Structure 1
Amino acid sequence: MRALSWVVRAICGLNAVVGQVFSWLSLGIVVICFTVVVQRYLFATSFVWMQDLYIWLNGAMFTAVAGFALMRGDHVRVDIFYRPARPRTKAVVDLIGAALFLLPFCWIVYAYSMPFVQRAWGYHEASANVGGMPGLFILKSFIIVFVVLLSLQGIAMILRSILVLAGHSDLLPAAQRYDVPSDLQDQEGVV
């Protein structure tokens, strides 16, 4: 059971680091967008590559932090049933949800997007806009990053549920327990 706990901690730690790093892209997006607006309206000039850049950074950020959002419970859920439920009921719901819905969804996204990403890498796809950013193939690779990080967090959810159902929730960090109030989880941190 300690091995399961270690795997949950490792996956959550990875998603926490990725989430913290990529959340800083939001600041870059705001700065670049502000710069584009100032250039356009004050100096009557514009660079297409800068317009591409803030859109691409936005795409990279949102795909990279999906696992982090799932780990924190920031995704959409019917909380009127889930929130008041007992820890074991939450564990069963998460186990079934991750095994029957999340992981198959990730597999479908992976299976359909991999040829798309490979094709983009094959000819080093760039922006379709004249004067746009090179390296669109790198951005398209974030679809695979999205799938991998989301799948890993789904596996962590399944393992966490198994630990809770087996009566070993004490092996989990407080932020991953169902019985710790969310305000205490926020004080302790995400991992």
Structure 2
Amino acid sequence: MQALLKLSSLIDALTERVGKAIIWLVLVVTLIAAGNAVMRYTLNYSSNAFLEIQWYLFSAIFLLGAGYTLMRNEHVRIDLIAGRMSRRGQAWIDIFGIIFFLLPMAVAVMYLSWPIFLLALNNNEQSSNAGGLAVWPVRLLVPIGFFLLVIQGVSELIKRFGFLQGLCPDPTAKGHKPTPEEELALAIKAQKGEL
């Protein structure tokens, strides 16, 4: 079990790095949207590429951030039953949900989205909008995002079993963690300090 817990912490470290990088995409999308609006109203110029890159980045934030959200236990839950159970009971519900719902769904989407990406790449699929972007990069986000979700699901499964065996703390315990907005503000302050 100790080897599995080490694997889980490696997965968590990867997920943490991806999550921290995604936080910056929120700032990039905001700047692109603001720049597009300013150009549209001051220079009477706009481009479909600006709109599409925003959509692509929103997709990246959502798809690549799913594992990070799961790791931080910030995903949507319906605690009608689980909220009344002990921590051990909640861990068993999580194990059941991960094994029978999360992993099968995420593996299926990852598997089924790969040929769609390959077809888009091989055909050099382009947006149907004038001045639009290539489509294959955003199609690649689907299998990558679901792969990250699958490995984080495995990590969460390992942590739940570790908790049940008394080998690690409760992975669902909520300590004070900064919100994504607070993390972005801290990252910006750290960047300013480095300059």
Task: Please indicate, yes or no, whether the TM-score normalized by the shorter chain is above 0.5.
Answer: yes
Question: Which segments of 5 or more consecutive residues in structure 1 lack a partner in the other structure?
Answer: 171-175
Specify the code of the residue in structure 1 equivalent to 2:111: A
* TM norm structure 1: 0.86
Aligned to 1:183: 175
Does structure 2 conserve the Cα–Cα contact (< 8 Å) formed by 1:91 and 1:160? Answer: no
CA distance in 2: counterparts of 1:183 and 1:84, whole angstroms: 20
Residues 9-88 of structure 1 aligned to structure 2 (within 5 Å): 9-83=9-83, 85-88=85-88
CA distance in 2: counterparts of 1:83 and 1:151, whole angstroms: 25
Residues 137-156 of structure 1 aligned to structure 2 (within 5 Å): 137-156=136-155
TM-superposed deviation, 1:169: 1.9
1:164 aligns with 2:163: yes
TM-superposed deviation, 1:112: 2.2
Specify the code of the residue in structure 2 equivalent to 1:5: L
- Which secondary structure state, in structure 2, belongs to the residue aligned with residue 132 of structure 1? coil
Q: Which moved more, 1:142-151 or 1:74-83?
A: 74-83
TM-superposed deviation, 1:46: 0.7
CA distance in 2: counterparts of 1:36 and 1:141, whole angstroms: 25
CA distance in 1: counterparts of 2:140 and 2:81, whole angstroms: 36
CA distance in 2: counterparts of 1:82 and 1:32, whole angstroms: 42
CA distance in 2: counterparts of 1:7 and 1:85, whole angstroms: 29
Q: Percent identity?
A: 28
CA distance in 1: counterparts of 2:2 and 2:175, whole angstroms: 26
CA distance in 2: counterparts of 1:161 and 1:19, whole angstroms: 21
TM-superposed deviation, 1:139: 1.2
CA distance in 1: counterparts of 2:84 and 2:18, whole angstroms: 30
CA distance in 2: counterparts of 1:143 and 1:75, whole angstroms: 18
The superposition leaves residues 76-129 of structure 1 with CA deviations (integer Å, 9 ceiling, x where unpaired) of: 101354345422112111111100000110122123212211101112222221
Question: Which segments of 5 or more consecutive residues in structure 2 lack a partner in the other structure?
Answer: 179-195
Query: How many pairs were matched up?
Result: 178
- Which secondary structure state, in structure 2, belongs to the residue aligned with residue 162 of structure 1? helix
Specify the code of the residue in structure 1 equivalent to 2:29: I
The superposition leaves residues 24-52 of structure 1 with CA deviations (integer Å, 9 ceiling, x where unpaired) of: 10101011011111111222111221111
CA distance in 2: counterparts of 1:166 and 1:156, whole angstroms: 15
Q: Which moved more, 1:138-147 or 1:123-132?
A: 123-132
TM-superposed deviation, 1:167: 2.2
CA distance in 2: counterparts of 1:19 and 1:85, whole angstroms: 30
Aligned to 2:187: none
Does structure 2 conserve the Cα–Cα contact (< 8 Å) formed by 1:23 and 1:65? Answer: no
TM-superposed deviation, 1:156: 0.8
Q: Which moved more, 1:103-112 or 1:7-16?
A: 103-112
* TM norm structure 2: 0.84
Aligned CA-pair RMSD:
1.7
